[in-house]
A and B are shown apart, each in its own frame.
Chain A
Amino acid sequence: MNAIDQSLQSLRDTFRRDLVWPFLAPEHAAKVDVSNQMILYVEGLNLSFDGFKALNDLNLYVKDGELRCLIGANGAGKTTLMDVITGKSKPDSGSVFFGQTHNLLSKDEADIAQLGIGRKFQKPTVFEEQSVFDNLELSLKTDKRVIQTLFSRLSPSEIDRIDEVLKIIGLNDQRFMKAGALSHGQKQWLEIGMLLVSDPRLLLIDEPVAGMTAQETERTAELLTSLAGERTVIVVEHDMEFVRSIARTVTVLHQGSVLAEGTMDQIQNNKDVIEVYLGEEAVEA
């Protein structure tokens, strides 16, 4: 009897007029639990390609609202780490949590992006055949399922948001230009703009100032520092001047694991770092 009652009840629930069917209800991006002030937990990551250990028991914690710089020599595992966080690569072992509840390893790239993690690639990748405006429109934080996308139209507030970002990245005049026709630096900016317009919680930015003029670099630095606080930003960069100009905390990666962490001054005086970067003679001297 009980079973019948239960199924009747669930049937009744199914047809309640005040509720939408669960599978029709829009999927709200679940809140990111940052009650411990930490937004990213990376623990014990290992990943090897053909015997080469790209990540070796790597641990990293990033506070909510922080601006963190990752530095390290080529092959230190910076890009691989970003690949793992954004779901592009799966590690052999370890865990990555976004907030306290979201296990990123069980999600794919699209899920992770919809949670609010944006990524800028080392080589600028924008949709070259489409206009700057369209590039930004595609990146808007909206329902990204197929049918919804087919019938979606730009709302006035979304247009305002795009205009706002266009101004920030200084491409207002090029809004109807094909993205492929932009200069290298402009493409870098557009890609950052695509991140901004999607309103992310965590930005992963791979070498943002490569190929930029000094002036552009300065503006980028300004932009990134202004973003921190409201959002969390992780920057990978080789340009030490640039890192110095923006960094509060710097993490040094070496051979797939964290070598040192601290302020720029601490890092510069760290023995291990000097040894790795400048060689043993430097330490002896």
Chain B
Amino acid sequence: MKIKTLASAIALTSATLIAFPSLAADTIKVGVLHSLSGTMAISETTLKDTVLMMVEEQNKKGGLLGKKLEAVVVDPASNWPLFAEKARELLTEEEVDVIFGCWTSVSRKSVLPVIEELNGLMFYPVQYEGEESSKNVFYTGAAPNQQAIPAVNYLKDELEVERWVLAGTDYVYPRTTNKILEAYLKDMGVAEEDIMINYTPFGHSDWQSIVSDIKKFGSAGKKTAVVSTINGDANVPFYKELGNQGISSEDIPVVAFSVGEEELSGLDTAPLVGHLAAWNYFQSVETDENEEFITQWQAFTGNPDRVTNDPMEATFIGFNMWANAVTEAGTTDVDAVEQAMIGQETPNLTGGTAVMNKNHHLSKPVLIGEIQDDGQFETVWETDGVVPGDAWSDFLPGSKDLIADWTDPLKCGNYNTETKMCSGQNY
């Protein structure tokens, strides 16, 4: 009997141990590291499908460097340690050449040490708090200066807002964004008592008190606006409560940085008409590229009503840039591709071109849209040209002296211009 237990135990362990080293690399492997289950699946499955679509398209064009692309999909299940584990699996077991993945900041932070250790390459397609620039990551989503600051400028200049509510979910992105905005607003002469900051937990569902507070705050006779960094599931009950308490977009407009077409599709938008969002992309923008992209996407998902959103465009840009960089470098070697990426240009879906900067962030246009009753956004304002993404905010005391530059001779993600030193990983 004992032998049997022994045997089964050995079978179990050896099954784990025996890795299947991929043989001759006749394909280029593209890792997809997006949660397909758990709380983040709601947002991330879309991006997984986007990458699969892009891979399919690229293969139709004959692949890259004469090889076909092969997507490797894993499910980190919205579990942050699992992100690190799966990243390691992708890089060491599957030996992928590039990873498209992550949504939340914590998942990116979890993956980062692994990617840096194993010198992988990752494209991160979501708007985020900034304060980071890794050699191995390209950030194709918006940094705070590409979303929050233009939005505040719009509210201030166009809607003459004087009183500000900064409402967010309690995690890093809202905290940082609100810190930046607070400093920015104070620089512009907004008084302390005209700023209200509020944090709520993830998935907060009972917004009665907070919305009523906002209502009170907004009844002081000055034009008031809410800058919302409320994340994910908490948005639906928030907007529902706004509608029910009779706060219309003319009274107190809400500008959101995490609400896109996808989130609106789960929502009855009639009471929300006129509230705002700031993104680099809206599905409603009428360009030929966008029309083609939307048709492609709806055909790929087999759903003629399927919407597109900003992180999808970021994935689209990231993928195209990577494909160009690989072609240019003639190899998928990470160091070569990384250098080839810088200065890469590719058309935006909203017109114009996106440029990859030395700090691994993109230069993109910023759009502000109003929610329509069909769940789409109507662009009401856009920046004149493109705005370069800023890895380190100028409005935070800790990072205003830091810059990121991955070209020679600096080659540093956090170079301190005061002390002339590069702290962190290149210490």
Any A–B CB pair closer than 8 Å: no
Which residues from chain A sit less than 8 Å from chain B, CB to CB?
Answer: none
